[in-house]
Protein backbone atom coordinates (compact mmCIF):
# COMPACT_ATOMS: atom_id res chain seq x y z
CA UNK A 1 0.00 0.00 0.00
CA UNK A 2 1.27 3.44 -0.86
CA UNK A 3 1.71 5.66 2.16
CA UNK A 4 1.00 8.86 0.26
CA UNK A 5 -0.32 10.54 3.40
CA UNK A 6 3.23 11.01 4.71
CA UNK A 7 4.95 12.08 1.51
CA UNK A 8 5.75 15.52 2.95
CA UNK A 9 7.67 14.07 5.89
CA UNK A 10 9.47 11.69 3.54
CA UNK A 11 10.42 14.51 1.15
CA UNK A 12 11.54 16.83 3.97
CA UNK A 13 13.83 14.08 5.28
CA UNK A 14 15.67 13.75 1.97
CA UNK A 15 19.07 15.35 1.47
CA UNK A 16 18.55 18.23 -0.94
CA UNK A 17 20.79 20.96 -2.39
CA UNK A 18 20.75 24.31 -0.59
CA UNK A 19 19.23 25.94 -3.68
CA UNK A 20 16.12 23.74 -3.61
CA UNK A 21 13.11 25.98 -4.28
CA UNK A 22 10.30 26.06 -1.74
CA UNK A 23 7.03 24.28 -2.44
CA UNK A 24 5.37 27.68 -2.86
CA UNK A 25 7.91 28.72 -5.50
CA UNK A 26 7.44 25.46 -7.37
CA UNK A 27 3.68 25.98 -7.25
CA UNK A 28 3.96 29.49 -8.68
CA UNK A 29 6.24 28.30 -11.47
CA UNK A 30 3.86 25.52 -12.48
CA UNK A 31 0.87 27.89 -12.32
CA UNK A 32 2.65 29.96 -14.97
CA UNK A 33 3.86 27.00 -17.04
CA UNK A 34 0.68 24.93 -17.19
CA UNK A 35 -1.27 27.57 -19.16
CA UNK A 36 1.66 27.91 -21.59
CA UNK A 37 1.78 24.13 -21.99
CA UNK A 38 -2.01 23.90 -22.34
CA UNK A 39 -2.20 26.57 -25.06
CA UNK A 40 0.88 25.57 -27.05
CA UNK A 41 0.31 21.82 -26.87
CA UNK A 42 -3.37 22.43 -27.66
CA UNK A 43 -2.47 24.37 -30.78
CA UNK A 44 -0.04 21.65 -31.85
CA UNK A 45 -2.61 18.87 -31.34
CA UNK A 46 -5.25 20.92 -33.16
CA UNK A 47 -2.94 21.52 -36.12
CA UNK A 48 -2.07 17.81 -36.24
CA UNK A 49 -5.79 16.99 -36.12
CA UNK A 50 -6.46 19.46 -38.97
CA UNK A 51 -3.52 17.94 -40.89
CA UNK A 52 -1.62 21.24 -40.96
CA UNK A 53 1.22 19.47 -39.10
CA UNK A 54 2.30 15.89 -39.82
CA UNK A 55 0.94 13.40 -37.27
CA UNK A 56 4.41 12.51 -35.99
CA UNK A 57 4.77 16.09 -34.68
CA UNK A 58 2.42 15.22 -31.81
CA UNK A 59 4.56 12.29 -30.60
CA UNK A 60 7.03 14.14 -28.32
CA UNK A 61 4.21 16.24 -26.88
CA UNK A 62 2.11 13.17 -26.04
CA UNK A 63 5.09 11.44 -24.41
CA UNK A 64 5.90 14.66 -22.55
CA UNK A 65 2.40 14.94 -21.10
CA UNK A 66 2.39 11.30 -20.01
CA UNK A 67 5.81 11.61 -18.36
CA UNK A 68 4.92 14.97 -16.78
CA UNK A 69 1.71 13.59 -15.26
CA UNK A 70 3.53 10.44 -14.08
CA UNK A 71 6.22 12.34 -12.15
CA UNK A 72 4.23 13.19 -9.01
CA UNK A 73 2.84 9.67 -8.45
CA UNK A 74 6.30 8.20 -9.03
CA UNK A 75 8.15 10.69 -6.83
CA UNK A 76 5.68 11.16 -4.00
CA UNK A 77 3.43 8.10 -4.25
CA UNK A 78 5.95 5.38 -4.98
CA UNK A 79 8.79 7.42 -3.45
CA UNK A 80 11.03 6.03 -6.16
CA UNK A 81 13.85 8.52 -6.73
CA UNK A 82 15.66 6.67 -9.56
CA UNK A 83 12.43 6.15 -11.51
CA UNK A 84 11.45 9.80 -10.91
CA UNK A 85 14.89 10.85 -12.23
CA UNK A 86 14.37 8.75 -15.35
CA UNK A 87 10.89 10.19 -15.76
CA UNK A 88 12.04 13.81 -15.54
CA UNK A 89 14.83 13.08 -18.03
CA UNK A 90 12.11 11.88 -20.41
CA UNK A 91 10.21 15.13 -19.82
CA UNK A 92 13.37 17.13 -20.54
CA UNK A 93 14.30 15.18 -23.69
CA UNK A 94 10.77 15.39 -25.09
CA UNK A 95 10.71 19.17 -24.64
CA UNK A 96 13.88 19.49 -26.74
CA UNK A 97 12.60 16.93 -29.24
CA UNK A 98 9.27 18.75 -29.47
CA UNK A 99 10.91 22.14 -29.94
CA UNK A 100 13.09 20.74 -32.71
CA UNK A 101 10.29 18.89 -34.51
CA UNK A 102 7.80 21.79 -34.40
CA UNK A 103 10.41 24.42 -35.39
CA UNK A 104 9.90 23.90 -39.14
CA UNK A 105 6.14 24.38 -38.72
CA UNK A 106 6.05 27.20 -36.18
CA UNK A 107 9.01 28.97 -34.67
CA UNK A 108 6.68 30.76 -32.23
CA UNK A 109 5.31 27.48 -30.84
CA UNK A 110 8.84 26.17 -30.56
CA UNK A 111 10.16 29.28 -28.80
CA UNK A 112 7.14 29.33 -26.48
CA UNK A 113 8.55 26.13 -24.92
CA UNK A 114 11.66 27.95 -23.63
CA UNK A 115 10.23 28.77 -20.15
CA UNK A 116 9.15 25.13 -19.80
CA UNK A 117 12.60 23.95 -20.92
CA UNK A 118 14.37 26.28 -18.49
CA UNK A 119 12.27 25.12 -15.54
CA UNK A 120 12.52 21.42 -16.41
CA UNK A 121 16.29 21.79 -16.82
CA UNK A 122 16.50 23.20 -13.29
CA UNK A 123 14.08 20.56 -11.98
CA UNK A 124 16.06 17.78 -13.70
CA UNK A 125 19.32 18.92 -12.13
CA UNK A 126 17.53 19.14 -8.78
CA UNK A 127 16.02 15.66 -9.16
CA UNK A 128 19.33 14.13 -10.19
CA UNK A 129 21.03 15.82 -7.22
CA UNK A 130 18.41 14.50 -4.81
CA UNK A 131 18.55 11.03 -6.34
CA UNK A 132 22.34 10.84 -6.10
CA UNK A 133 22.36 12.20 -2.53
CA UNK A 134 19.84 9.75 -1.11
**Residue 105 forms part of a structural domain:** yes
**Residue 101 forms part of a structural domain:** yes
pLDDT tens digits, 36-69 = 999 999 999 999 999 999 999 999 999 999 999 9
**Full-model pTM:** 0.93
**Residue 40 forms part of a structural domain:** no
Across the chain, what does the average pLDDT equal? Answer: 95
Task: Supply the pLDDT for residue 132.
Answer: 98
Which range of residues forms the domain containing residue 71? 51-134
Task: Supply the pLDDT for residue 43.
Answer: 98
Between CA 100 and CA 94 the distance in angstroms is 10
When divided into structural domains, the chain yields a total of 1
Between CA 122 and CA 40 the distance in angstroms is 21
Any residues with CB less than 8 A from the CB of 56 and at least 6 apart, and which? 101
**Residue 99 forms part of a structural domain:** yes
**Residue 84 forms part of a structural domain:** yes
**Residue 27 forms part of a structural domain:** no
**Residue 78 forms part of a structural domain:** yes
**Residue 124 forms part of a structural domain:** yes
Task: Supply the pLDDT for residue 6.
Answer: 83
Which segments of the chain have a pLDDT < 70?
A: 1-5
Torsion of CA 61, 64, 70, 75, to 10 degrees: -160
Torsion of CA 121, 96, 93, 80, to 10 degrees: 40
Amino acid sequence: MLESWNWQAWYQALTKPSWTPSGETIGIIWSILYPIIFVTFGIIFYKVYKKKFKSYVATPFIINLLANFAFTPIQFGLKNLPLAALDILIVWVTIIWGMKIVWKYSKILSLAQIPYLIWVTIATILQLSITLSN
